[in-house]
Amino acid sequence: MLLHIPEVLTGPALARARALLAAARWSDGRATAGVQAARVKNNEQLAAGSAELAELQSIVLGALERHSLFFSAALPKRVLPPQFNRYGGSANTYGAHVDQAIRYHPDGVQRVRTDLSCTLFLADPADYDGGELVIQDTFGTPRIKLPAGDLVLYPGTSVHRVEPVIRGHRLASFFWIESLVRSDEQRRLLHDMDMALMRLRARHGESDEAVALTGTYHNLLRQWADT
Ligand code: NI
């Protein structure tokens, strides 16, 4: 499932994140790539020790925690700390690659299976040309470029790339999620059911049927979740 989630970061939080990114010092993005990815990766990232990183991470994680649509779609078990990248100038592209299946949490202890990849766009699309996230999967090859503050969730299994940025700078946060529900298909069914239940309640209020279906949702989650 590929899902566009609008307005994850808005207002003062988005402005603060953008101010922090404007003040940050950037370093070579290849530092965190695996062997195959490093050959095609040419961008910049905020280094682990950079002064702005901790505040940026808490802004993004705080926004995710408050976002019910993100929770419903991702059913997160573990979220790796968000990282931040910049594409522009001579460091402007990331060729076709697959993200590593297992990543280590910076705490050095937890391993995280990357069921879902996430890109949160942080630059205004009018401020740069190129930089589309191109995802190759069974659903086609969408070219994604979203308003600042919107994110896209997509399966970690996809081959994907970032097109060269030929004007301005593309800024984004990217991170991975291990889901309570490993299967993309099962996660999709649960999300569809959750959304339909929300609309059912909005239209008809509470009912015995809505309660029963909510029970079915939770019983499916109980069958499929790995906590
Ligand atoms: Ni990637």
Give pLDDT tens digits for 55-99: 999 999 999 999 999 999 999 999 999 999 999 999 999 999 999
Q: Measuring CA to CA, which residue among 187, 198, 177 is closest to residue 224?
A: 187
Q: Is 152 exposed, middle or buried (0-12, 13-18, 19+ CB in 10 A)?
A: buried
Are both 121 and 78 inside the same structural domain? yes
Distance (Å) from CA 131 to ligand 1 centroid: 13
Distance (Å) from CA 160 to ligand 1 centroid: 6
Are both 127 and 189 inside the same structural domain? no
Are both 84 and 194 inside the same structural domain? no
Question: Helices 208-224 and 184-204: crossing angle, nearest 10°?
Answer: 160
Distance (Å) from CA 204 to ligand 1 centroid: 42
Distance (Å) from CA 12 to ligand 1 centroid: 28
Total structural domains in the chain?
A: 2
For 90, residues 6+ apart whose C-beta sits below 8 A from its C-beta are 42
pTM of the model: 0.94
Are both 139 and 169 inside the same structural domain? yes
Domain, as residue range, for 198? 184-224
Are both 123 and 201 inside the same structural domain? no
Are both 211 and 135 inside the same structural domain? no
Are both 213 and 148 inside the same structural domain? no
Alpha-carbon torsion 53, 55, 56, 61, what sign?
Answer: positive
* CATH code of 196's domain: 4.10.860
pLDDT digits (tens, 9 = 90+) for 179-213: 999 999 999 999 999 999 999 999 999 999 999 99
Angle at 161 between CA 59 and CA 165, to 5 degrees: 75
Are both 78 and 26 inside the same structural domain? yes
Residue 127 · residue 118 · CB < 8 Å: no
| 1: confidence class by pLDDT, cuts 50, 70, 90 | confident
Are both 162 and 63 inside the same structural domain? yes
